[in-house]
Structure 1
Amino acid sequence: MPLGEEKDFEGIIDLIENKAWAFSDDITSLPREIGLSEECLGKTKEQRELMLERLAEEDDQFMAVYLEGRPARAEEIKAALRRACIANRVVPVLCGSALKNKGIQPLLDAVVRYLPSPVDVPPVQGIDPKTGKSDTRVSDIAAPFSALAFKVTTDPFVGRLVYFRVYSGKVKAKAQVFNSCKGRKERLGRLLRMHANHREEVDEVCAGDIAAALGLKATYTGDTLCDSTRPIVLETIRFPQPVVSVAIEPKTKADQDRIGDVLAKLMEEDPTFETHYEAETGQTVISGMGELHLEVLLERMKTEFKVDVRTGKPQVAYKETITQSAEAEGRFIKQFGGKGQYGHVVLRVEPAERGSGFSFTNRIRHGAIPAEFIPAVEAGVRESLDRGVLANYPVVDVKVELLDGSYHEVDSSDVAFKMAGSLALKEAVSRAKPVLLEPIMKLDIFAGEQFLGDVLADLDARRASIEGIGVQGGTRVVHALIPLGEAFGYATALRSLSQGRATYSMEFHHYQQVPPNVLEQIVGPRGRFA
């Protein structure tokens, strides 16, 4: 329980030990035990009884203690909490302030005391890359080495650091490891155990350890490191596609010379951040998960890497898809006097399940197109998918089948079939009733009762769908789904509506078809119907 609130927050009450701890404003000092007033004692007793009752409902061993009617010892409560946490039945709640370093020590103690250690969880599952069959790794130093890289950073002092968690076995510094995702061997450099503001060099890490390594040049977030004699691919980390884009331009010639390297480093560190060069405008476009995400990265470019840029208005990462099947023919036939170009393909496109991406199937029979030209057709199809027919946005969730075609003994080439595949794909998508998809964000707003009406009216004007309204303490919680295009600048709008008292969180949820009236506004300036 908190002891005081807001600016008067001074400490915590430990309901398990029945003790109160006060924290000084000096963040380096240790907490001190204090006595409680009669009013606090009454509230503490009430909350402690409620906690014990809930715990008894979730743990059979503690239920026996609770029904005996005797006071439960602190050790019994802690043991029951640990069992319930490992079984994923309860979540302990602690309070504190990270900014003022109040309540942080009990939080770290609770992590060690209640959360499962590596030996408390089932063996990690993976796939044997040689056989494609399921495999497991037990959290034991005697098991073959396996680890998952979960973060890549660029340290200004030591260079590229790859953070990884060891699931089984052990590994020494400067040892050779196998990256099973890339299919190549790499040599570890120094191994570092990372602390908040310093790093400790170690010679070896074992199952359950988290460490950072130098020297891994081809390992990225989500890759598996393992023993080459017992390879395994652990479940990788899946990242959502970026939903917001911003055009940037370097302010000076010095910034221009360095911007490429800086963006490459940021993409290494953050898999949800992407960048590409727009040849039509001559601008570099960066993409991320939201306005705040891009603002943070731009600030890092300025403060950490000393690269300053000008930015344009944020742009929504729309997608295009199709709603029905269609067939089309693509012919690329050119004659230049000598050897010409000849490529001819027939494609069929079908809608795929939302989120499934792109698939290409070769259904050519009897050698209508030689096998060596099939990859060129697929390359042309993939290239065309990058720019749709409605508003030049990428086309997603499409199945493409190569049905038929023809070739010329002399004039056919990879280039000709790549062009034919591109032309056929564009025509087929045009016939398949294409639609535009917009990113929908999950929005949670925390506001006082007096501001609820204004908040809901504003959401309605932004095409938001209200999923529910709840209560958390004395605060109303609004759960909504809102198109990203309507959410730009929402932080400022919400502050204005609530006198700065409301807060919100936003994350990507799904893609959804754009309404016809909005489609006209988007397609107008960008599409072929403008």
Structure 2
Amino acid sequence: MYRLRKSLIHSIQSSMKYNEKLMSNYAKYAEHKDLSKIRNIGISAHIDSGKTTLTERILFYTGRIDSMHEVRGKDNVGATMDSMELERQRGITIQSAATYTLWKNHNINIIDTPGHVDFTVEVERALRVLDGAVLVLCSVGGVQSQSLTVNRQMRRYNVPCLAFINKLDRLGANPNRVLSQMRSKMNHHAAFIQLPIGLESNCQGIVDLVDQQAIYFDGAFGEDIRYDEIPPEMRTESDERRHELIEHLSNCDDAFGEMYLEEKPLTVSDIKSAIRRSCLQRKFTPVLVGTALKNKGVQPLLDAVLEYLPNPGEVSNYGLREVQGKESEKILLDPTRSGEKPFIALAFKLEAGRFGQLTYMRCYQGMLQKGDAIFNVRTQRKVRIARLVRLHSSNMEDVNEVFAGDIFALFGVDCASGDTFVTDPKGDISLESIYVPDPVVSMSISPTNSKDRDNFSKAVARFTKEDPTFHFYFDNDNKETIVSGMGELHLEIYAQRMEREYNCPVNLGKPKVSFRETLVSPCEFDYLHKKQSGGQGQYARVSGVLEPLPPHQNTMLEFVDQTVGTNVPKPFVPGVKRGFLAMAERGLLAGQKLSGLIFRLVDGAHHIVDSSELSFFLAAQGAIKQTFETGIWQILEPVMAVEVTAPDEFQGSVMVQLNKRHGIITGTEGTEGWFTVHAEVPLNEMFGYAGELRSSTQGKGEFTMEYSRYSPCMPEVQEKLILEYQKSMGMVPEKDKKKRKN
């Protein structure tokens, strides 16, 4: 009895201590900082460069978590930011995860993003709302295909970045080669601000070139930082690299360049100020080094985030106001945290939480308190805020108010990704939405058990709402349900999530590629649509030219009205455009979408009584059908930029495989026993390549691919697609007609 009472008292005391710790943590993190003490950063990189491991170390050193776990750790716990069971099993990040932490009295909001190209929209929407980023590069792999994609996304949203060369402890680590690739492949003005002390198994610490000191990371987890003099054998190299850093800065920053040319003494604060100014303007990229797995270089990276990346007040964000009959007017948003200006926020990510839909938002202006009402600019619906939370991976921490610069989440808000929310609907201000790439792979999908259709429809409704690159539709012609996404892995992950989260196993069919149809040369049309069957008739005539666009615009459709006079009345021109776009949804050559075309409406005719917008809509459709009979058409297919990395002994077999798949080799490079092949291969030829590459390289080969462009497909592929389309439509191909005649 005494033991039971003692254990009960002990459990109550430990519970009280835990609650006290939670309350102190809550008070510490809930405190709203000044705007200059806030950083919103993203961790972005190519797959398997160490983003999630780096984020885990950041959370540990800032005191956000008590212990570190590995992405593929033996303890089966997994990294904090990989909260989904599938992420822990596969050892990859699938969904971007948000957290916030404190470092040197600064509040840092962090979004850890996936590296796989199939989940590129997660990176896209994270960079849309962030003020700065850390570009992680592997010291062995260097600048890889997804690194280039992330770099393009940063340029699109004008996001300043630091580069962190990770994995210095790996065999074959070569940060100098990575720096030269950043300059040649990414066109970055980049220079080291740190140097590694030793590489591979001899990695001991780093040299800070700005402060001119060595930094060592002692203790079991590298938490004890020791500053020392630069090792004698590295003084020459560090002096050379410091001089290179100063030269790069003088080229990027005018004020610093003048000081350098006038040979004025350059202090540490001068160099740091120049790095900050040029980094904020995206003219210079400071390069840091370390190894997150071996706990080296993470704390100096956090210091660099505070010193060189912008706070929300240093970034210009604009809202758009619609002006009648003119282009949208740009309005500079006020990020000050006074709360005087009306609240404006962007919903950048949706997720199904435990208590309904969770909507991730970034506040750009004003403040929001619990109990306030906000309006969705797109739908004009009013929502009352019952709960405001900030996120730490899958955990939520309630707050009473949020200010400009904060990343937060709301429950039960019915909206779409990219919607703008305001407290003043009369202001009529909306934020620029998020760029969403078109899906490139389609597969047929159906529930294994017909009884699971309810769960299947719930899963599809949720996933299509959460992920704008995941599309779902029913193909009436083929009588099958189709899902489209960014790659095979993308669709495979969603199929597994349907089984795990909705108890609905599904069957995925062979992938269908998004082909396109276009004209080879300009084709004139002159079509008269005339219908008279009692009552008001239909009369419309359209004439003009359907032309192919240049190859670099072959995914676009354009409509140009070149009519003069009143032969085609202006109110009926939109009907012609709608008819053209409606026909573009499904071509008559192989049933694919039309693209790379410009419809020039030159002339036409109308009837005073029988003409209407519908008549011209049908006339435009008839004109497109006419061009299919008179013009020369071709099929375009998506071509992927493929990057294959494998040991040197397999180079011949890899080249042969790519050639068999009608690939064009665009470049090769080799480093210390490994080679990398860059090629452009039609997507239609890439299915099943993962298994073939693994078997031919003893499991050592890796490949990544991303969409590059559309280009004309091979004649035999075009013939096969046309034949399949004719059979599916019940048409008799020309060959079969001849056979029947004979």
Q: What is the TM-score when the length of structure 2 is the normalising length?
A: 0.60
2:631 aligned partner, one-letter code: A
Give the Å deviation of 1:92: 2.9
Question: 1:404 corresponds to which residue?
Answer: 604
Question: 2:123 corresponds to which residue?
Answer: none
Give the Å deviation of 1:13: 2.3
- Alpha carbons of 1:174 and 1:94: their partners in 2 closer, same or farther (altered >3 Å)? farther
Q: Secondary structure of the residue that 1:422 maps to in structure 2?
A: helix
- Alpha carbons of 1:452 and 1:46: their partners in 2 closer, same or farther (altered >3 Å)? farther
2:725 aligned partner, one-letter code: R
Give the Å deviation of 1:518: 2.9
After TM superposition, the structure 1 = structure 2 runs for residues 130-529 of structure 1, keeping only pairs within 5 Å, are 130=323, 132-141=328-337, 142-155=340-353, 157-180=354-377, 182=378, 184-187=380-383, 189=385, 190-218=387-415, 220-226=416-422, 227-322=424-519, 323-329=521-527, 331=529, 333=531, 335=533, 342-348=538-544, 349-352=546-549, 353-359=553-559, 361=561, 363=563, 366=566, 371=571, 378-401=577-600, 403-406=603-606, 409=609, 418-471=617-670, 475-527=674-726
Are 1:86 and 2:280 counterparts? yes
Deviates more, 1:209-218 or 1:261-270: 209-218
Contact 1:176–1:185, Cα closer than 8 Å, also in 2: no
Q: Which whole-Å CA distance do the structure 2 matches of 1:22 and 1:505 have between them? A: 37
Contact 1:439–1:483, Cα closer than 8 Å, also in 2: yes
- Alpha carbons of 1:432 and 1:130: their partners in 2 closer, same or farther (altered >3 Å)? same
Identity of aligned residues (%): 30
Are 1:15 and 2:207 counterparts? yes
Contact 1:345–1:424, Cα closer than 8 Å, also in 2: no
- Alpha carbons of 1:463 and 1:136: their partners in 2 closer, same or farther (altered >3 Å)? same
Q: Deviations over 1:237-270 (max 9, x none)?
A: 2212111110011111332123223212211111
Q: Which whole-Å CA distance do the structure 1 matches of 2:685 and 2:237 have between them? A: 43
- Alpha carbons of 1:93 and 1:390: their partners in 2 closer, same or farther (altered >3 Å)? farther
Give the Å deviation of 1:440: 1.3
Q: Which whole-Å CA distance do the structure 2 matches of 1:400 and 1:173 have between them? A: 52
Contact 2:214–2:231, Cα closer than 8 Å, also in 1: no
Q: Secondary structure of the residue that 1:116 maps to in structure 2?
A: coil
Contact 2:567–2:604, Cα closer than 8 Å, also in 1: no
Q: Which whole-Å CA distance do the structure 1 matches of 2:215 and 2:594 have between them? A: 61
Given candidates 120, 138, 142, the residue that maps to 2:314 is: 120
2:207 aligned partner, one-letter code: L
Deviates more, 1:233-242 or 1:414-423: 414-423
1:198 aligned partner, one-letter code: N
Give the Å deviation of 1:324: 1.4
Q: Which whole-Å CA distance do the structure 2 matches of 1:120 and 1:513 have between them? A: 46
Give the Å deviation of 1:46: 7.1
Structure 2 runs not aligned, ≥5 long: 1-165, 172-199, 735-742
Are 1:57 and 2:247 counterparts? yes
2:246 aligned partner, one-letter code: A
Contact 1:193–1:210, Cα closer than 8 Å, also in 2: yes
Q: Which whole-Å CA distance do the structure 2 matches of 1:105 and 1:306 have between them? A: 44
Q: Which whole-Å CA distance do the structure 1 matches of 2:314 and 2:408 have between them? A: 20
Q: Which whole-Å CA distance do the structure 1 matches of 2:567 and 2:266 have between them? A: 83
Contact 2:561–2:573, Cα closer than 8 Å, also in 1: no
Contact 2:206–2:289, Cα closer than 8 Å, also in 1: no
- Alpha carbons of 1:58 and 1:71: their partners in 2 closer, same or farther (altered >3 Å)? closer
Q: Which whole-Å CA distance do the structure 2 matches of 1:408 and 1:256 have between them? A: 52
Q: Which whole-Å CA distance do the structure 2 matches of 1:428 and 1:109 have between them? A: 63
Q: Deviations over 1:89-125 (max 9, x none)?
A: 1243444457x9887666555544432222233x223
Q: Deviations over 1:117-173 (max 9, x none)?
A: 22233x223432236223222432354433332212222x12122222222322233
- Alpha carbons of 1:9 and 1:489: their partners in 2 closer, same or farther (altered >3 Å)? farther
- Alpha carbons of 1:376 and 1:59: their partners in 2 closer, same or farther (altered >3 Å)? closer
Q: Secondary structure of the residue that 1:233 maps to in structure 2?
A: strand
Give the Å deviation of 1:517: 3.5
CA RMSD for the aligned pairs? 4.0
Contact 1:447–1:498, Cα closer than 8 Å, also in 2: yes
1:15 aligned partner, one-letter code: V
1:357 aligned partner, one-letter code: L
Q: Which whole-Å CA distance do the structure 1 matches of 2:672 and 2:341 have between them? A: 49
Q: Deviations over 1:453-496 (max 9, x none)?
A: 32222222222222222345654332222211111122222222
2:593 aligned partner, one-letter code: P
Q: Which whole-Å CA distance do the structure 2 matches of 1:481 and 1:275 have between them? A: 28
Structure 1 runs not aligned, ≥5 long: none
Give the Å deviation of 1:500: 1.9
Q: Secondary structure of the residue that 1:242 maps to in structure 2?
A: coil
Give the Å deviation of 1:214: 2.5
Q: Secondary structure of the residue that 1:526 maps to in structure 2?
A: helix
Q: Secondary structure of the residue that 1:15 maps to in structure 2?
A: strand
Q: Which whole-Å CA distance do the structure 1 matches of 2:500 and 2:307 have between them? A: 39
- Alpha carbons of 1:104 and 1:199: their partners in 2 closer, same or farther (altered >3 Å)? farther
Q: Deviations over 1:377-399 (max 9, x none)?
A: 55444332221121000112333
- Alpha carbons of 1:360 and 1:186: their partners in 2 closer, same or farther (altered >3 Å)? farther
- Alpha carbons of 1:367 and 1:324: their partners in 2 closer, same or farther (altered >3 Å)? closer
Q: Which whole-Å CA distance do the structure 1 matches of 2:532 and 2:451 have between them? A: 46
- Alpha carbons of 1:310 and 1:358: their partners in 2 closer, same or farther (altered >3 Å)? farther
Give the Å deviation of 1:276: 0.8
Give the Å deviation of 1:45: 5.9
